[in-house]
């Protein structure tokens, strides 16, 4: 019998490619599906939200200016790294969600496939949503989709990994940057995904992950003037009203959430990609 002590892991936030503790010093206990203690997670504060938004804004120019092909390569690399840590993710999903190991493995595989699916759309979505417009005059007219900017994402509460990937991947695939509030009760897969992002090719600040309560952090995120869109999926129905009101002060997009717990195993479509893109129409004269 070994007398070696296991190395306890310190769970932190992920902001601007770094792993800081919450500036507030707050933590909260995370338990498994049986109520057994797993870890202490950092509880993000309003200052952490501001820092994450600032990092996302700083990273937006470089990420949105990268070629669509390059973004696809980066997303595919994330899928590779996630696949390489398949057993760790499966163990965390099984513990957090209280599902058998085989089902957890299937969930991780679906999350990997979801990253690959969105990676494949990065250099195709412009062709699908763009257009050459018919014009009655000596002009060319083109409509092209462009990323909307910084997106605040409140990740699903029940689906700790697949739901998180389903709401995050389309944001970064379009060229937007993200500030994500993970599932409060099941944050460990999100924290591990942060480690995957940090060790893949995703530039610092493109994705920022905060742990804490969506109903507390969501309104602060929605009211921030430098956030351009908000996905309130992980917020309670009551909090979504407050989030929409806070967002209206700076006229940002608030995604409509169809239900409290969507079926994340369903095949994705381009609807989430479309939500984070804005149409820009350009006119150009023909000839000289």
- pLDDT per residue as tens digits for the range 154-213: 999 888 899 999 999 999 999 999 999 999 999 999 999 999 999 998 999 999 999 999
The C-alpha atoms of residue 74 and residue 191 are separated, in whole angstroms, by 19
Count other C-beta atoms under 10 Å from residue 106's C-beta: 16
Q: Is the dihedral of CA 45, 222, 237, 163 positive or negative?
A: negative
Q: Which residue has the higher pLDDT, 33 or 183?
A: 183
Running DSSP on this structure, what letter comes out for residue 14?
A: B
C-alpha torsion 45→47→50→54, nearest 10: -120
- What is residue 2's predicted lDDT score, i.e. its pLDDT? 65
- Segment 215-240 shows an average pLDDT of 92
Token representation of residue 239: 């909090």
- What is residue 252's predicted lDDT score, i.e. its pLDDT? 84
Q: Which residue has the higher pLDDT, 95 or 251?
A: 95
The C-alpha atoms of residue 158 and residue 135 are separated, in whole angstroms, by 49
Phi/psi at 34 (nearest 5 deg)? -95, 0
The C-alpha atoms of residue 178 and residue 196 are separated, in whole angstroms, by 16
The C-alpha atoms of residue 46 and residue 179 are separated, in whole angstroms, by 13
Mean pLDDT, the chain, rounded, equals 91
- What is residue 249's predicted lDDT score, i.e. its pLDDT? 86
Q: Which residue has the higher pLDDT, 38 or 52?
A: 52
Running DSSP on this structure, what letter comes out for residue 4?
A: P
- What is residue 78's predicted lDDT score, i.e. its pLDDT? 96
CATH code, 27-285: 3.40.605.10
Q: Which residue has the higher pLDDT, 38 or 258?
A: 38
């Amino acid at each position: 019998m070994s007398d070696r002590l296991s190395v306890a892991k310190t769970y932190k936030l992920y902001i601007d490619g770094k792993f800081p503790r919450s500036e507030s010093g707050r933590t909260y206990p995370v338990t498994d599906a049986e109520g057994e203690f797993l870890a202490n997670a950092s509880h993000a504060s309003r200052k952490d939200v501001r820092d994450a938004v600032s990092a996302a804004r700083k990273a937006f120019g470089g990420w949105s200016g990268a070629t669509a092909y390059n973004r696809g390569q980066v997303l595919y690399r994330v899928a590779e790294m996630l696949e390489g840590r398949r057993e760790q993710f499966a163990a965390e999903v099984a513990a957090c969600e209280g599902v058998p190991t085989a089902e957890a493995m299937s969930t991780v595989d679906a999350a990997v496939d979801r990253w690959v699916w969105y990676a494949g759309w990065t250099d195709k979505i412009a062709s699908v949503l763009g257009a050459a417009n018919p014009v009655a005059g000596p002009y060319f007219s083109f409509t092209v989709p462009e990323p909307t900017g910084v997106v605040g994402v409140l990740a699903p509460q029940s689906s700790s990994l697949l739901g998180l990937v389903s709401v995050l991947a389309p944001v970064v695939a379009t060229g937007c940057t993200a500030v994500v509030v993970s599932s409060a009760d099941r944050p460990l897969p999100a924290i591990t995904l942060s480690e995957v992002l940090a060790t893949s090719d995703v530039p610092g600040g493109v994705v920022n992950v905060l742990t804490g309560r969506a109903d507390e952090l969501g309104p602060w995120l929605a009211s921030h003037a430098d956030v351009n869109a908000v996905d309130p999926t992980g917020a309670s129905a009551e909090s979504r009203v407050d989030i929409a009101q806070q967002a209206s002060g700076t006229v940002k997009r608030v995604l409509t959430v169809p239900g409290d717990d969507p079926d994340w195993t369903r095949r994705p479509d381009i609807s989430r990609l479309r939500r984070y893109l804005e149409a820009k129409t350009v006119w150009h004269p023909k000839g000289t």
